[in-house]
Homo-oligomer: A and B are copies of this chain.
Amino acid sequence: MRAKVEVMLKDGVLDPQGEAVCHALGSLGFDGVSKVRQGKIIELDLADGTTKDDVRAMCEKLLANTVIETYRIEIG
């Protein structure tokens, strides 16, 4: 089975990487980009029978820094 985890910075946490992308898009002539936020996507190939709770534990322990990041899990 496969799980997909999206990790994004929480609102209010400064995202210099996203700001850099935003400015770069402006410099390339793409107007109308008002804000960019960048995050991580982690695709996991898991043994059958792994539960969403297991993946949640992985997020809490390793994949996300829950002080500044939120995560979202998609199974299947």
What is the CA–CA distance of A24 and B28 in the complex, to the nearest angstrom? 39
**Which residues on B sit within 8 Å (CB–CB) of A50?**
32
What is the CA–CA distance of A33 and B54 in the complex, to the nearest angstrom? 11
What is the CA–CA distance of A41 and B21 in the complex, to the nearest angstrom? 12
What is the CA–CA distance of A24 and B30 in the complex, to the nearest angstrom? 39
A58 to chain B, nearest CB (A): 6
What is the CA–CA distance of A25 and B54 in the complex, to the nearest angstrom? 11
**Contact indicator B46/A34 (Cβ below 8 Å):** yes
**What 1/0 mask marks residues of chain A from 35 to 65 whose CB sits below 8 Å from any chain B CB?**
1111111111111011000100110011100
A6 within 8 A of B: yes
**Residue of B at shortest CB range from A34?**
B45
**Contact indicator A44/B35 (Cβ below 8 Å):** yes
